[in-house]
Amino acid sequence: MSRRSPASGHRPEDGSQDSRLATHDAAAKPPYHMPFDEFRRHGHEVVDWVADYLESVGDRPITPDVKPGDIRALLPESAPERPEPFEDVMRDLDEIIMPGITHWQSPGWFGFFPANSSPPSILGELVSAGLSTQGMMWSTSPAASELESVVADWLVDLLGLPETWKTTGPGGGVIQMSASDSTHLAFVIAREQVEGPAESKVLYASNQSHSSIEKGAKIAGFKQVRLIGIDDEYALDAAELRRTIVDDLAAGLKPTTVVSNVGTTGTTAVDPVRSIGEIAREYGLWHHVDAAYAGTAMICEEFRHHQDGLELADSYTFNPHKWMFTNFDCNLFYVADRKPLIDTMSILPPYLRDEASESGQVINYRDWHVPLGRRFRALKLWFVIRSYGAEGIRYHVREHHRLATDLAARVERHSSLELIAPTPFGLVSFRHVDGDEATNALAAAINESGWAHVSPSTIEDRRFVRVSIGQTYTTAEHVDRLWDLIAARA
Ligand SMILES: *Cc1c(COP(=O)(O)O)cnc(C)c1O
């Protein structure tokens, strides 16, 4: 990395490099736009840049060697007054920005969960930026709303979700920025279904739930969140849920909503969705299902037993931006019945009224979440599903699952290692039998390799290593290499 002082380089204040501008683009004078012929040229260059990057990202160290403030120190303190050549921007991208990037698209990425991407997704994103349309209402871009409904409906079939969740039925799906937004929204709707003061309303979820559950509860105004205990596979204990609800009712509180996890973030544990759904029906709670990561797996029928009971859910969320080859942001939020959603979210000032909306024949997605403006995110998902086909996505999900299962078997056979949880999807969770220190050392050794990256975690006060297999380009070769590294250090 070439280090320069912030004052040096390409932003002369004394005009000493102004000769550069003479050879540079027409964009350096009014009206300052990049001419379309240059846009075409730079556009092709940037696509080449991205292709080169994805082709070779496995050769880069995954985490950057920088300290806080290192990148900032290389950037000017103020924005340029004079237009700068695009070449300079690209050079600084290579020299200043890239050395500070964490390479989530490396095939050696086994950290957190995947945030994968793919060429069709990137191209869809490019087209979406090119159109830069606002799809808040049907009438503000009819194709944006209709394609979003179609893709959401396709996914109902592809993932084996309840038929009634299609936009052609009483329910429907909408694309949101993140699972956190969807969960927050589910809690706001749930809150509106129950009368009484905020203090009395109670939300229930397993103690393995993602942080977005507690955060969403807080933003939605819940004062009472009960984190329910788990069984030995880290799935919610339904008997404890029922007891807690009964106790709360006896105390005069109002049980309002409960979450089922299909694939927790810690260990991909699967809560008993059907039992939780039955309890929710019995006591009148809103039942939200968080399948942020594992939802993608349901494209293969053999995983669907994990979501048995979904017809007893009121809302559901999953992230194509994790494991479905669609770059962030792309989350799906489904409701079994869209009326409570729209009743909760619709605010209708005069400037948003129009004939199409009055006719009741269209979906205005602005009423399906918090923001008004919305980008055309359905496009990249549509590009992905059409380019891979359902069979292409299934192939990769099965392959990632196979690689994870193989790795789990090797861990199990190793005398110094032990699995701490099952591997229902693509995550292998294990620890060193010598304890936390040895487990931390193992994770550190993997990450110090540079080419592989894991996110160790803690469960029930014990450290463990999480190997999450799901990056778009991860193959058996990468997992074998990871295993060699683990076996050599364990
Ligand atoms: C990743 C994850 C989330 C959060 O997803 P965002 O889209 O980043 O908000 C929520 N729940 C679970 C189970 C997750 O794994």
Q: What is the pLDDT of residues 408-418, one digit of tens each?
A: 999 999 999 99
- For residues 234-247, give the mean pLDDT: 98
d(CA 327, CA 258): 29
Using CA atoms, how far residue 326 sits from 109, 146, 383, 473, in Å, is: 16, 19, 9, 13
pLDDT at residue number 19: 43
- For residues 139-165, give the mean pLDDT: 98
Ligand 1 probe mutation, 265, 296, 330, 331, most atoms within 8 A of CB: 265
4 pLDDT higher than 70: no
CA of 140 to the centre of ligand 1 (A): 30
pLDDT at residue number 376: 98
Beta carbon of 210 within 6 Å of any ligand 1 atom? yes
Task: Strand 457-459: give its sheet, edge to edge.
Answer: 417-419, 427-432, 462-468, 457-459
User: What DSSP designation does 230 have?
Assistant: B
Using CA atoms, how far residue 16 sits from 12, 20, 21, 26, 126, in Å, is: 6, 9, 11, 20, 37
Contact in structure between 234 and 266 (CB atoms under 8 Å) = yes
CA of 264 to the centre of ligand 1 (A): 9
CA of 266 to the centre of ligand 1 (A): 11
CA of 330 to the centre of ligand 1 (A): 12
Ligand 1 atom with least separation from CA of 180: 9
465 pLDDT higher than 50: yes
pLDDT at residue number 10: 45
Ligand 1 probe mutation, 116, 175, 177, 180, most atoms within 8 A of CB: 180
d(CA 403, CA 417): 18
Beta carbon of 113 within 6 Å of any ligand 1 atom? yes
262 pLDDT higher than 50: yes
CA of 54 to the centre of ligand 1 (A): 25
Beta carbon of 212 within 6 Å of any ligand 1 atom? yes
Mean pLDDT of the chain: 94
Beta carbon of 316 within 6 Å of any ligand 1 atom? no
What's the pLDDT band for 389 if we cut at 50, 70, 90?
A: very high
> Each residue of 445-472: b (16+ CB within 10 Å) or e?
ebbebebbbbebbebeeebbbbbbbbbb
pLDDT tens, residue by residue, 343-385: 999 988 888 888 888 788 999 999 999 999 999 999 999 999 9
> Phi/psi zone of residue 360: left (φ > 0), alpha (ψ -120 to 50 degrees), beta?
left
What's the pLDDT band for 24 if we cut at 50, 70, 90?
A: low
Provide φ and ψ at 334, rounded to 5°. -115, 145
Residues sharing a CB contact under 8 Å with residue 430, sequence separation 6 or more, in sequence order: 408, 411, 417, 418, 419, 420, 464, 465, 467
6 pLDDT higher than 90: no
Higher pLDDT: 19 or 333? It is 333
pLDDT at residue number 2: 40
- For residues 230-246, give the mean pLDDT: 98
Which stretches does DSSP call E strand in 221-291? 224-228, 254-261, 286-290
What's the pLDDT band for 22 if we cut at 50, 70, 90?
A: very low
CA of 273 to the centre of ligand 1 (A): 18
- For residues 439-446, give the mean pLDDT: 98
Beta carbon of 179 within 6 Å of any ligand 1 atom? yes
CA of 340 to the centre of ligand 1 (A): 24
Beta carbon of 290 within 6 Å of any ligand 1 atom? yes
Contact in structure between 298 and 159 (CB atoms under 8 Å) = yes
pLDDT at residue number 453: 98
Contact in structure between 424 and 468 (CB atoms under 8 Å) = no
Task: Strand 201-206: give its sheet, edge to edge.
Answer: 172-176, 331-335, 315-318, 286-290, 254-261, 201-206, 224-228
18 pLDDT higher than 70: no
CA of 103 to the centre of ligand 1 (A): 19
Ligand 1 atom with least separation from CA of 293: 15
Residues sharing a CB contact under 8 Å with residue 343, sequence separation 6 or more, in sequence order: 192
Beta carbon of 116 within 6 Å of any ligand 1 atom? no
Higher pLDDT: 239 or 23? It is 239
From the list 307, 314, 472, 311, the residue with the least C-alpha distance to 397 is 472
95 pLDDT higher than 70: yes
404 pLDDT higher than 60: yes
Q: Which of 24-38, 261-275, 276-290, 393-407 has the lowest mean pLDDT?
A: 24-38
